[in-house]
Amino acid sequence: MALDAPRSVRFTKSPTVAVVAHQGSRKSGPHYIHTALLEDGSKFFETMLKKTRFTQIIPLDLDRDVDVTDFDVFVTWLYKGCIDEHTLGDRFMNIWTLASQLQSETFKSYIMKEGRVHLQESDYLSIAKFLDGDVISKCALRDYILSGLATKIASNGWVSFIERTRGGWEDFMSHKDNGAGTKGKFISFLMARLDQMRQNGTQSSPAIQLEGHGGAVFHHPSPQSQHRSQTLPVYVAPMESTPHIPIPNPVSKKRKWEADTVQQL
């Protein structure tokens, strides 16, 4: 998939194709989208358009974790290069899953870059629950979330962090393994990341000790904070080595399409 500067004006010279997104009995579209934008913005569509060069309608069966309205968001991003910050915050997991399905590295990069602002105010609980299962294989998203979550915990301290959810995180951390051997792995990955940060000296402020995980130490930013220990029931699993969106008038200003590099720790 091309990752170079887009054809801001030239894309209008390319033909359009109707895309209808399906999720069960629900559908979104048809969206009449310029093929140049689809090819630049999605490896999935680029491959499909090469195979069916003269097709006029493309049906798209969405992933079970994606709603048809999420495809509307993708179309908006294709033409505007951005999406509403509230939409990004409310549907972060959905649109990231859609970006993966459409093999859109540029959309992923945008979501991850802009998502950092939203996640600063997040307790990460719903995201952690989403990842604590069979989708744990989504390593890029898992590492991205672990990085932000571990940094937030190390900065604010465990007690301050978990108190915000009024028992939500304590309950989540008490998960036991299931038959598939997946539940509880997210917590293990998180603990390993926090240990790594401590060993690397990422934080140098006073510490809060979390009992039940080998004496792992997590830092608190306030010099006046008392050293406290917090006993939590931690399961440690074995570690592993919308309606159709109208097309806006083309603008002459080019927008950036290079994928921002996402550092994965």
| pLDDT tens, position by position, 19-53 | 888 877 788 878 998 989 999 999 999 988 888 77
Domain annotation covers residue 130? no
Number of domains in the chain: 2
Q: What's the CA gap between 50 and 52, in Å, rounded?
A: 6
**First vs last C-alpha separation in the chain:** 25
Two structure tokens written together for 219: 């830092």
Q: Do 157 and 208 contact (CB within 8 A), yes or no? A: yes
Asked if pLDDT for residue 156 goes beyond 50, the answer is yes
Entry pTM: 0.61
Q: Do 123 and 168 contact (CB within 8 A), yes or no? A: yes
For residues 12 and 73, state if they share a domain: yes
For residues 146 and 107, state if they share a domain: no
**For residue range 61-103, what is the model confidence (pLDDT) as tens digits?**
887 778 888 899 999 999 998 888 888 878 888 888 889 889 9
Domain annotation covers residue 56? yes
Q: Which of 86, 121, 156 is the last residue of a domain?
A: 121
For residues 144 and 218, state if they share a domain: yes
Question: What pLDDT does residue 162 have?
Answer: 74
Q: Do 184 and 133 contact (CB within 8 A), yes or no? A: no
Question: What pLDDT does residue 182 have?
Answer: 53
For residues 116 and 148, state if they share a domain: no
Percent of the chain past pLDDT 90, that is, above it, reads 8
For residues 209 and 176, state if they share a domain: yes
Exposed, middle or buried, 195 (CB in 10 Å: 0-12/13-18/19+)?
A: middle
- Of 35 and 265, which is predicted with more confidence? 35
Asked if pLDDT for residue 203 goes beyond 70, the answer is no
Q: Which of 14-23, 155-164, 180-189, 252-261 ranks highest by mean pLDDT?
A: 14-23
Give which of 174, 185, 250, 186 is closest to 212, Cα–Cα. Answer: 174
For residues 21 and 95, state if they share a domain: yes
DSSP code, position 240: -
58 CB-near residues (< 8 Å, 6+ apart)? 17, 18, 19, 20, 45, 48, 52
Phi, psi of 219 (to 5 degrees): -95, 150
Domain annotation covers residue 172? yes
Give which of 201, 234, 200, 238 is closest to 215, Cα–Cα. Answer: 234
For residues 114 and 139, state if they share a domain: no
The residue segments making up the domain with residue 72 are 7-121
**For residue range 131-150, what is the model confidence (pLDDT) as tens digits?**
776 554 566 788 888 888 88
For residues 114 and 170, state if they share a domain: no
